[in-house]
Structure 1
Amino acid sequence: MKKANILILLTISFFVFCFRAQCQEHAYKWGNELELLKRVDKLPTYHTNQYIEQESSYDRTGGNDDGFSGKYSYISKEKEGLVLAEFEGPGVVNRIWTPTPTNDTLLFYFDGEKQPRLKIRFMDLFSGEVYPFIKPICGNEIGGYYSYIPIPFKKSLKIVFQGERIMFHQIQYRKLSGMNVESWTGKFSEGDKKLLSEVAGLWGDISPKVDNYRSGLSDDIQTKEKTFNIKPGEEVTFFDQQTGGRIVGFDIDGGTSFEGRYKDIILSAKWDNEQVDAIHAPIADFFGYAYGQPAMRSMVMGRQGTTNYCYLPMPFDRSASMKLIYKPREEVQQNPMSVKVKVYYNSNKRNVQEEGKLYTVWRRERPEIGEFYTFLQTKGKGHYVGTIHSAQGLRPGMTLFFEGDDSTYVDGKMRLHGTGSEDYYSGGWYALLDRWDRGISMPLHGSLDYSLPMNRTGGYRFFLSDKMPFEEEIYHGMEHGEVNNNFPVDYTSVAFFYADRPLEERMEPTAKLREVYLPTTHVYFPQLMEITLERGVQVILDRGLGITSFGKGAVRVTLTDVPEGRYRVLLNFHEGPKGADFQIWQRQNQLSDWISTKAAADGYREKVHVGDLQLTAQTNSITVHVRDNGDANLFELTLITLERID
């Protein structure tokens, strides 16, 4: 009997040992998550019940204090500092963003431990100076600091800020329910280091190509090429396959044909003879053009040279077809276009249980005041992987519509709430020099354009490890304005997602919706004016463009972005005891007489008409001549407004 008991105990011990060994062997480690930042071939794969959620500094009252005061920038105070987030595990932090990093320390407490395993300066999450937080997986541009280095945790994670004040931030994490996650150790194997180097190399490649993504089910690529001419009113199918497989990517080279005000070439794709097209969008919008010009060059989609590329995998079950449609337009000269297409594909059809099909939703809308703009609202199972967004304001002046926050509801719960539109695109501080002030492309996010005179901007963001899963439904949208969606806008977007069921409807890009909107009033703000100085003046940026004369001098202001035409010129400026005289010219043509800004007390004048001008690509400037008025020699220019004359 004793021998039998000993045998039973040995058997149980053996199975326990084997079970523990198997669990350890199948532990989800840092490298498993890091690999998702290069394995674009895995984008179609479901992350079942792995919900993405976010802790951020957004204003809980619905106002616009999304980090300015710091009131909502932490969830509690402890002896160690301000608690930014407390997450229940298992899970992994996928993305940390801020436009306001500091040199204060962040403490990361794992699994209820009393001591932090990770202790790092807030700034060093993004500086590239502390391993493994290296560039370009971490970095800063267009006003935002970002890190995609994964931080896994088994039971829990608490993040504490050791400083007196923190402002804007977003900390995004993914739940890994039921998985044996290995928490952050801060120790990295040679394999981890090699993988990190590979990810950094891929993200830093500014010439993306399909070979970057030859792995897994996206390997064994064949190429189908087709060169053709297409005329208005024609459709040309460039890919058609009647067996299951997947498109790994495609290139479309149309030269400069897709540029310009009219977006009349439509890209269309269908999988498995579904009733509604999986892709149906103006090709310019699909590839991230901004208001008629190429603007996006991400690691997975965009334009390089004259080639438009997309390397998002597109698996299908039985058939796939892709075509271009050239929509005719009345009273506009439309020329034939020459197009060259390459489609990269293989015979690895979709794994129905584990993968979704790629779908896109194109929209252009002027949402009502008080209503959100919707990127995507759909039912079923899938995950969201990308947004391309052109944002046009319909009220001249500052781009305050981009104060609007993003919101994401998944399966009946708000999972993410952002802190501003440019923040969603990992940027920050629009209308400030060298921040969100122009189009800039990064590996997964970027600004498409920024123009104060045209009152427009735009951004893009793609999701790899942080793709947003849904089991039943998803709503993903954006506010427009500081509060209550109070700014009139004209928004265009393409939403990218994988799903288990086809689209039920689509918006048709009508002739009006395919035309770039051109405002008729344009406002130039001093912080982004392009100026050239003549001798005799000194310029500083204070409460306006402060021009100090030393006797007499001039400053030329280039009037960028605005379409050619005839305009009224209106100026806003300060008056006061130090006010100088000014006069406006357009090159050698005098627009105004001398105007005095000298006054006994400080004052402010708005929209003073100083003349009319004809604006062309060669005459797109005005010159401000300034002269002393006795001992007064300061002209403070705050706004230049152009009003189009029909």
Structure 2
Amino acid sequence: MTATLAAARVACIALMLAGCAGGKGLAANASVPAARGPVGWDVFRRMDLLPLLRAGVHAHLESSYDRRGGNDDGFQGTWSCRRRTPQGRCVLAQQTGPGEIDSIWFTRNRGDVRRTGTLRIELDGRRVLDAPLQDVVDGRLGPPFAFPLVANARRSSGGVYIKVPMPFQRSMRITTARNPHFFHIDYRTFDDATGVPAFDPRDRVSDVLAELREAGRRMPPAAGSLESVSPGLQLNGPATIRELRFRLPPGTSISRARLTIAFDGRRTVDAPLSALLGGGGTVRSLLAAQGGRTAVAWWPMPFRQSATIQVRGIAGVTVQALLDRQSPLPAALATGEAGYLHATWHRGRTRPGRDWLVLDTPGPGLLVGLAATMEGPRSRRYLEGDDRIVADGTLLHGTGTEDFYEGGWSFNRGPFTLPLTGNPVHQRHGAADVTTAYRWLMGDAVPFRRHLRFTFEHGDRDRVAGRYSSTAVWYGPSG
């Protein structure tokens, strides 16, 4: 054991309460619902079930990306309308069968989307939203279309988004009055409609909005018992880690710390600590927070027998783990319905003509997040690179790097941190420009049974050189 590890002080808070659903404790019970995972508002109310691998669920992405392989991802609006309705509306997405809309993003005119006109969403033949897009993202409609479930370009640095989960049982269609130029829509389909609720646009979801508005500031519940644990933080199962809290000694930087975690004897996390928490800087998000000497991760981490947590690079780090010993997830690991937490880290120089590789792995699994730091020229043209995910042969092709993080125009309002997306750091050093960004995937997580490959272009057609580091967060088998 290294001197660094020997110097670490560790403690473990073991929660004996069933169904702790997060730092604020949104209601949850100890039973596992359908293996497809949370649907509707349970996306936020049952974050404890994020590790479920979502059998029978398929991710889809509609976007305005340039089908010719160039960079016209919305500048001319060439690829923004699938077709026109008889009334002349622009059809962005249409699907039959059961599913759920989970994330919608737009930009144009430096983030001013007034010229797009009305956004109309029809579910199962019902019109659940029909209002000017700018009013929607400004929060003028009120709950559930309220911040931070919606955000305008001022809050999301150049882009606008809607993250209200909208399930449907038979059909969905999304249209705009005029060509929206840049957009992407993340939605998923289900093999069957069993248990899929109807979306109610009048639901005020005060509990969800309160939780999101407190993102990154949550405190652990007072109930529980404190145990002393040997250096290296070896935990005995079965249990699910609901929180890891790190306290750094004075005068140290989180950028020097590296986190490794082995679940049931297999290491699945080996990455810079800051990368698992949003990449650096000040982060106040739903699943991670960092700033000053304190850093916290709220990723659910189930294990059956043991979990060993180590922090290298800094001596004297205090680590606390909040455990749910009534969690149903360890049993779901045994049946293959749930996965272990993984953090896959890469760092290096980009290569001309080749995408930056984020993750390439066999299934089954569930992609739930990405944090990245990108260094390129001061022009920031490296951000023109599209995001590309191929999950079991299905292509999810986005429109640009800052668009993936749901900003726009090279994050033209500057750094920001929100519950599910952020650009916490932007720096310039001489001729170099450095951007750090994160995006956590909840309802829009990407399940895969056979294989997933996740890459980014670095600039238009991989023609801008840079230095990148990326950490993909996902759930899957330990081996």
State the TM-score, normalizing by the size of structure 2: 0.83
Q: 1:341 to 1:110 in 2, by over 3 A?
A: closer
Aligned AA for 1:200?
L
Q: Is the 8 A contact 1:225 1:340 kept in 2?
A: no
Q: Tell me the SS of whatever aligns to 2:282.
A: coil
Which deviates more, 99-108 or 46-55? 99-108
1:365 alignment partner in structure 2: 348
* Count of residues in correspondence between the two structures: 426
CA deviation after TM superposition for structure 1 residue 109, in Å: 3.2
Matched, 1:387 2:370: yes
Match of 1:404?
Answer: 385
Instruction: Letter of the 1:93 partner, please give it.
Output: I
Residue in 1 that maps onto 2:53: 46
Counting only pairs closer than 5 Å after superposition, residues 227-266 of structure 1 correspond to structure 2 as 237-255=231-249, 257-259=251-253, 263-266=255-258
Partner of 1:105: 118
**What is the alpha-carbon distance in structure 2 between the residues aligned to residue 107 and residue 247 of structure 1?**
41
Identify which of 328, 341, 345 aligns with 2:319: 341
2: CA distance, partners of 1:323 / 1:460: 23
Tell me if the contact between 1:152 and 1:183 (Cα under 8 Å) persists in the aligned partners. yes
Which of 130, 134, 158 in structure 1 is aligned with 2:141? Answer: 130
Q: Distance in 2 between matches of 1:470 and 1:185?
A: 29
CA deviation map 1:568-597 (0-9, x unaligned)? xxxxxxxxxxxxxxxxxxxxxxxxxxxxxx
Aligned to 1:424: 404
Match for 1:64 among 50, 68, 71?
71
- Offset at 1:302? 2.3
Q: Where does 1:133-212 land on structure 2 (aligned, <5 Å)?
A: 133-140=145-152, 141=155, 142-163=157-178, 165-180=179-194, 181-186=196-201, 188=202, 192-193=203-204, 196-209=205-218, 211=220
Query: Which amino acid is 1:123 matched to?
Result: Q
Q: Are the counterparts in 2 of residues 96 and 148 from structure 1 also a CA contact under 8 Å?
A: yes
Cα 1:153–1:346 shift into 2, 3 Å: closer
1:280 to 260, 270, 288: 270
- Looking at structure 2, the residues matched to 474 and 43 of structure 1 have their Cα atoms a distance apart, in angstroms, of 18
Helix, strand or coil for the counterpart of 2:462? coil
C-alpha contact 1:411 1:471 (8 A) present in aligned 2: yes
Summarize the Cα distance change of 1:284–1:452 in structure 2 as closer, same or farther, 3 Å threshold.
same
Residues 41-80 of structure 1 show CA distances to partners (whole Å, capped at 9, x for unaligned) of 1111221121111111111111111111111111112222
Post-superposition Cα deviations, 1:236-286, rounded to whole Å, max 9, x if no partner, equal: 9431124322211111111455528xx543211101112xx2111122333
Tell me the residue number matched to 2:301: 314
In structure 2, relative to structure 1, the CA distance for the partners of 1:256 and 1:102 (3 Å cut) is: farther
Matches of residues 594-633 of structure 1 in structure 2 within 5 Å?
A: none
Alignment of 1:217-236 (within 5 A): 222-224=225-227
Superposed CA offset, 1:301-331 (max 9, x none) = 12144211001011011111111223xxxxx
Distance 1:182 1:299 in 2: 24
CA contact (8 A) 1:250 1:344 kept: yes
* 8 Å CA contact 1:315, 1:350 repeated in 2: no
Greater alpha carbon shift after TM alignment, 45-54 vs 418-427: 45-54
1:402 touches 1:480 (CA, 8 Å); kept in 2?
Answer: yes
Q: Secondary structure at the match of 1:152?
A: strand
Q: Does 1:119 align with 2:134?
A: no
Q: Residue 200 of structure 1 aligns to a residue in which SS?
A: helix
Amino acid at match of 2:90: L
| Contact 2:405–2:439 (CA under 8 A) maintained in structure 1 | yes
Q: What amino acid is aligned across from residue 372 of structure 2 in structure 1?
A: H
Alignment CA distance shift 1:479-1:258 (3 Å): farther
The structure whose RCO (Cα within 8 Å, separation 6+) is larger is: 2
Q: Contact 1:270/1:320 (CA < 8 Å) preserved in 2? A: yes
SS at the partner of 2:302?
A: strand
Contact 1:224 1:342 in 2 (8 A): no
1:491 to 468, 474, 477: 468
Structure 2 stretches lacking a partner, 5+ long: 1-32
**What's 1:500 paired with?**
477
Relative to 1, partners in 2 of residues 1:119 and 1:224: Cα closer, same or farther, differing over 3 Å? Answer: same
Q: Percent identity?
A: 28
Secondary structure of the residue that 1:51 maps to in structure 2? strand
Question: SS where residue 278 of structure 1 aligns?
Answer: strand
Matching residue of 1:78: 85
Q: Compared with structure 1, are the counterparts of its residues 378 and 207 closer, same or farther at alpha carbon in structure 2 (3 Å cutoff)?
A: closer
Amino acid at match of 2:68: T
Q: Which residue of 2 aligns with 1:467?
A: 445
Provide the C-alpha distance between the structure 2 equivalents of 1:94 and 1:346, rounded to a whole number of angstroms. 28
8 Å CA contact 2:235, 2:306 repeated in 1: yes
Is residue 66–residue 79 contact of structure 2 (8 Å, CA) maintained in 1? yes
C-alpha separation in 2, matches of 1:33 and 1:281: 32
Any conservation in 2 of the 1:237–1:321 contact (CA below 8 Å)? no
Equivalent residue number for residue 378 of structure 1: 361
Separation (CA, whole Å) in 1 of partners of 2:290 and 2:350:
29
* Contact 2:263–2:478 (CA under 8 A) maintained in structure 1: no
1:400 CA displacement: 0.2
Q: Distance in 1 between matches of 2:136 and 2:371?
A: 27
In the alignment, is the contact (CA less than 8 A) between 1:358 and 1:496 conserved in 2?
A: yes
Q: Matched residues in 2 for 1:286 and 1:225: separation?
A: 25
What CA distance in whole angstroms lies between the structure 1 residues aligned with 2:373 and 2:226?
Answer: 32
Aligned AA (1:266): R
Q: Which amino acid aligns with 1:385?
A: V
Indicate the SS of the match to 1:338.
Answer: coil
Residue pair 1:49, 1:469 contacting (<8 A) in 2 also: no
Aligned ranges for residues 501-520 of structure 1 at < 5 Å? Answer: 501-502=478-479
Name the structure 2 match of 1:457. 435
Q: Retained in 2: the 8 A contact 1:223–1:344?
A: no
Question: Is the radius of gyration larger for structure 1 or structure 2?
Answer: 1
1:412-458 deviation line (CA, Å, top 9, x unaligned):
221x11111011111111163xx2x3x31111110032235531112
Given that residues 233 and 309 in structure 2 are in contact (C-alpha distance below 8 angstroms), is that contact kept between their aligned partners in structure 1?
Answer: yes
8 Å Cα contact 1:258-1:265 kept in structure 2: no
**In structure 1, what is the Cα distance between the partners aligned to 2:170 and 2:275?**
43
Deviations 1:199-229 (Å, cap 9, x if unpaired)?
11111115433538x9xxxxx8554567xxx
Q: Is the 8 A contact 2:216 2:288 kept in 1?
A: no
